[in-house]
Amino acid sequence: MHPNIAPAEATFTPIHAISAAEWPAYLQGKSSVQAALAAHYDFKAQAGRVLLVPAPDGSLERVLFGLGTSQDAAVYGALPAKLPAGDYRIVSPLAREIGHGVLVAFLLGTYVFDRYKAKEPRAARLIPPVGADVEAASRTALAVKLGRDLVNTPPNDMGPDALEAVARALGEQHGAEIEVITGEALLAQNYPLIHAVGRGAVHAPRLVILRIGRPDAYPLALVGKGVTFDTGGLNLKPSAGMALMKKDMGGAACALALFSSLAEARLDVRLSVYLPIVENSMDGNSFRPSDVIRARNGLSVEIDNTDAEGRLILADAVHRASEDGNAMILDMATLTGAARVALGPELPPFFTEDEELASDLADAARQTGDHLWRMPLWRAYEDDLESPIADLKNSGGPFAGAINGALFISKFINHGDHKPIWAHFDVYCWNPKEKPGRPQGGEVHAVRAIETMLRKRFN
């Protein structure tokens, strides 16, 4: 259970959640001290603002929490950072249908990354509101914490060896089957693209596979891009472009966060996670622009840009997932800057040709506030991937970069007559600035929406 959930019988300090419209009426009849305190701190129930109201003996009597004009449960994510240690209950009427979202938002707001710098823990605990699924909220928040920790950890402590170790530990915790293919074994077992991208680094490339669930249950695959640091390879990134590249394993962090939550929830699926893990670095053995490499599925790929490496390692991984007979494949990757140019850092695009899946994901995104936006898998742009000497190239020119990345991956999804349901998520995995429940730094975008969609389908 999440440590910031208080038991129902705990002695608590009340939290009064007040909208801006309700504020004048709320203030009527209150003590002059409380009115003066609100005036002094310019508290008018603005969204995310907190006013701590003391009792005559100096202890904390109540908390006033501003909702502003927001109807969104996410605003409650601002509370934990502004409350002293203690147990709290929201005593204002809450619609039952938002109680779960309020608890999740509060728990997400308790996150602090303190591995390298001493920070005060956010020790406020909340008694769950009516309507909250406490176990589900705890699973979600702990899974997000795991993913954020992985993204925030610097590459000297989260290289290929370390990321594999995290995956192994998580798999062992849940009794998963674990398969790891490393270094030259990738060539022997036909994962040439994963090997090519990672062969220039000190730490060997690898493919990690976790599998749990009944063999005859619905086969579901999560595939996460695990580039633990991306220099760009021989097409070297500029310094500014390299600054956040510790987060280029964010897709793997998303997949592991989902694995953690779904394994705890015991969904009736045969869940497999595929993590192609590499560092895109440089030495005399690095793969080069103009190299042609034959992928696992037999297609030849001309390397147009070594900094378009994520789609290469995903290609071998998603094809293995298809070979294994998975009926649904969801891949997550910090794939393109073009996705950020189009939609910004907070709104990840997803691509799918399955209308039911697209609808379910859109519903789950609205329900959770973990926003997603469907983008077109525009087949007319496939000619951007044409190569004069190979079946395709790995980079599609200056336009429609996010679409071209998704189109490239789509070439490796089907295995013979097996055509799984597929969606690709081009996630950013970073919060440039702090917002309620979303501290600055590592993030696992799309995890809560995907989790909610899968729980609805398979619970």
Residue where a domain terminates, one of 103, 132, 161:
132
pLDDT in tens, 385-413: 999 999 999 998 899 999 999 999 999 99
pLDDT at 400: 96
Distance from C-alpha of 60 to C-alpha of 86, rounded to nearest angstrom = 10
Q: Are residues 365 and 387 in the same domain?
A: yes
Residue 5 placed within a domain: no
Give the dihedral of Cα atoms 205, 178, 247, 286; nearest 10 deg. 10
- How is the beta sheet containing 292-294 ordered, strand by strand? 292-294, 300-302, 392-393
For the chain, give the percent of residues with pLDDT over 90. Answer: 93
| pLDDT above 90 for 121 | no
The beta strands (E) that lie in 281-367 are given as: 292-294, 300-302, 328-333, 349-352
| pLDDT above 90 for 29 | no
Q: Crossing angle, helix 447-458 and helix 355-368, to 10 degrees? A: 120
For residue 163, give every residue at least 6 positions away whose Cβ sits within 8 Å of its Cβ, in sequence order, or none. Answer: 150, 208, 226, 228, 249, 252, 275, 277
pTM above 0.85, yes or no: yes
Q: Are residues 272 and 366 in the same domain?
A: yes
Q: Crossing angle, helix 99-108 and helix 355-368, to 10 degrees? A: 80
For the chain, give percent helix, strand, coil, nearest 5: 35, 20, 40
Residue 2 placed within a domain: no
What is the domain-level CATH number for residue 379? 3.40.630.10
Q: Are residues 128 and 167 in the same domain?
A: no
Q: Are residues 337 and 303 in the same domain?
A: yes
Catalytic residue among 311, 320, 411, 448: 311
Distance from C-alpha of 411 to C-alpha of 413, rounded to nearest angstrom = 6
Q: Are residues 345 and 203 in the same domain?
A: yes
Residue 232 placed within a domain: yes
Q: Are residues 248 and 387 in the same domain?
A: yes
Has 311 been annotated as catalytic? yes
| 240-266 average pLDDT score | 97
| 323-348 average pLDDT score | 98
Q: Are residues 69 and 212 in the same domain?
A: no
Distance from C-alpha of 177 to C-alpha of 179, rounded to nearest angstrom = 7
Q: Are residues 299 and 440 in the same domain?
A: yes
Residue where a domain terminates, one of 99, 132, 165:
132
| pLDDT above 90 for 188 | yes
Has 411 been annotated as catalytic? no
* Chain mean pLDDT for the chain: 97
Lowest-confidence segment of 46-50, 71-75, 200-204, 227-231 by average pLDDT: 71-75
Residue 3 placed within a domain: no
Q: Are residues 42 and 70 in the same domain?
A: yes
Residue 385 placed within a domain: yes
Which pLDDT band holds residue 71 (cuts at 50, 70, 90)?
A: confident
Q: Which residues of 6-38 are buried (b: 16+ CB within 10 A; e: fewer)?
A: beeeeebbebbbbbbeebeebbeeeeeebeebb
Residue 6 placed within a domain: no
Q: Which domain holds residue 149?
A: 140-458
| pLDDT above 90 for 96 | no
Q: Are residues 359 and 406 in the same domain?
A: yes
Catalytic residue among 44, 62, 237, 457: 237
pLDDT in tens, 352-379: 999 999 999 999 999 999 999 999 999 9
For residue 205, give every residue at least 6 positions away whose Cβ sits within 8 Å of its Cβ, in sequence order, or none. Answer: 160, 182, 183, 186, 194, 195, 197, 198, 199, 276, 277, 278, 279, 313
pLDDT at 261: 98
Which pLDDT band holds residue 315 (cuts at 50, 70, 90)?
A: very high
Residue 48 placed within a domain: yes
pLDDT at 118: 83
| 161-167 average pLDDT score | 99
| pLDDT above 90 for 97 | no
| 178-205 average pLDDT score | 99
Residue 8 placed within a domain: no
Distance from C-alpha of 139 to C-alpha of 145, rounded to nearest angstrom = 10
Q: Are residues 72 and 147 in the same domain?
A: no
| pLDDT above 90 for 280 | yes
> In this structure, are residues 211 and 195 in contact, taking their beta carbons and an 8 Å threshold?
no
How many domains does one find in the chain? 2
Q: Are residues 167 and 128 in the same domain?
A: no
Distance from C-alpha of 194 to C-alpha of 187, rounded to nearest angstrom = 9
pLDDT at 348: 98
pLDDT at 32: 82
Residue where a domain terminates, one of 115, 132, 149:
132
What is the domain-level CATH number for residue 88? 3.40.220.10
